[in-house]
Amino acid sequence: LDKVVQKRAREIDFYIEFENNEGLNKFSEKMKEDGNRIVRIQIGKCEGEGEYPNALVNIRVKDRDRMNVFFAEIRHLTYVRFVEEL
């Protein structure tokens, strides 16, 4: 049932870490360029070795047929340190 719901969902929640604040800005711009809409975003800073921005994000994707490659594409962005679907 979860797989069916996920396949049909247009909104996804995920956690993402960026190399720096510029990466966060680039990510927001890329989502807009791709036609995806950021519904909610909660921004924070990681603690420990180096401080880098992170975010909890809810995105409404333009094309749900591309959901299977959405995270693969995000993982390959140079300014993204880590991403995980929630």
- CA dihedral (17, 20, 25, 27) positive or negative: negative
> Which 3 state secondary structure label does DSSP give 43?
strand
Pick from 70, 75, 82: which is nearest to 6 by CA? Answer: 70
pTM above 0.75, yes or no: yes
Q: What would the pLDDT profile of 13-59 be if each residue is shown by its tens digit?
A: 999 999 999 999 999 999 999 999 999 999 998 776 678 899 999 99
The DSSP symbol for 79 reads: T
